């Protein structure tokens, strides 16, 4: 299978006063196209740091990161922006929707920076909202939507530029368990359609939807296991 992500000896250190915090202490990992992966581990173990690097939001202190076979650790700020725009869909724990825009406008935003014509943008944004089951509420603003609905908008936004990978840092962390399950079903469906999905979670129930679990502790991978069964409802 094709490797979508290949990182090698990724180190990320932060300087806090005069102490050096090693958020990532040399992580190597490959993720193949179409994989559905959960990253777990105690708080402060480096999960978000890794996700930010994978999402090209942050740079590693050292190490190599190949996305679709191309090295991204050495890209300029603007090249990283283009990579985020075209290859990565990022879903945040706190949704990060723009409050002054409707759901539709929020979803269309990545396409503004991709240079998609306005009519195409709205068309594609509507389609993405329909995929996440929000076709009815696309003219509502984020504050008129429930947490689960907001996260759907955020997923639609992450999908809309047809990225190579979907990254989600605790996407269900701010949701009740029912909304969390609904969101996970969406990820299941997206993965079934062939998308590579990586998500961070604290909850084993959420991780159970995936087929691979990577455990983190103190900036290192301590366990990495794949399994056949998943909690996805399995409808085609």
Provide the binding-site residues for another protein, judged by CB under 8 A: 52, 55, 57-58, 77-78, 81-82, 84-86, 90, 92, 96-98, 100, 109-110, 112-115, 157, 161
Q: Does 113 bind ligand ADP (CB under 6 A)?
A: no
Q: How far is the CB of 43 from Mg ion (least distance, A)?
A: 7
- Tokens matching residue 225: 């296991």
Task: Please give the DSSP secondary-structure letter assigned to residue 77.
Answer: H
Distance CA 94, CA 72 (A): 26
Q: Which element (helix H / strand E) includes 199?
A: strand 196-200
Closest C-alpha among 181, 167, 165, 169 to residue 232: 181
Q: Which is nearer to another protein, 84 or 195 (CB)?
A: 84
Candidates 1-9, 46-54, 134-142, 159-167; binding stretch for ligand ADP (CB under 6 A):
46-54
DSSP 98-156: -TTS-HHHHHHHHHHHHT--HHHHHHHHHHHHHHTT-TT-TTS-GGGS-HHHHHHHHHH
Q: Does 43 bind ligand ADP (CB under 6 A)?
A: yes
Q: Which of another protein, Mg ion, ligand ADP, none is residue 21 near (CB under 5 to 8 Å by kind)?
A: ligand ADP
Interacting residues with ligand ADP (CB under 6 A): 14, 16, 21, 23, 41, 43-49
Interacting residues with Mg ion (CB under 5 A): 48
């Amino acid at each position: 299978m094709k490797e979508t992500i290949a990182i090698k000896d990724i180190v990320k250190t932060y300087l806090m006063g005069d102490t050096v915090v090693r958020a990532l202490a040399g992580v190597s990992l490959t993720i193949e196209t179409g994989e559905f992966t959960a990253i777990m581990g105690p708080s402060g173990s480096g999960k978000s740091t890794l996700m930010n690097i994978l999402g090209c939001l942050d740079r590693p202190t050292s190490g190599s990161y190949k996305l679709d076979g191309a090295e991204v650790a050495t890209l300029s700020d603007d090249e990283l922006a283009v990579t985020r725009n075209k290859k990565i869909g990022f879903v945040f724990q706190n949704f990060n929707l723009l409050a002054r825009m409707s759901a539709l406008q929020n979803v269309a935003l990545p396409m503004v920076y991709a240079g998609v014509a306005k009519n195409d943008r709205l068309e594609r944004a509507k389609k993405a909202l329909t995929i996440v089951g929000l076709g009815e509420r696309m003219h509502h603003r984020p504050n008129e939507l429930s947490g689960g609905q907001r996260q759907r908008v955020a997923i639609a936004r992450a999908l809309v530029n047809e990225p190579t990978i979907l990254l989600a840092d605790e996407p269900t962390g701010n949701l009740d368990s029912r909304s969390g399950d609904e969101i996970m079903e969406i990820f299941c469906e997206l993965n079934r359609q062939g998308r590579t999905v990586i998500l961070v979670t604290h909850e084993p129930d959420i991780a159970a939807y995936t087929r691979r679990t990577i455990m983190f502790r103190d900036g290192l991978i301590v366990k990495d296991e794949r399994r056949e069964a998943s909690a996805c409802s399995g409808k085609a």
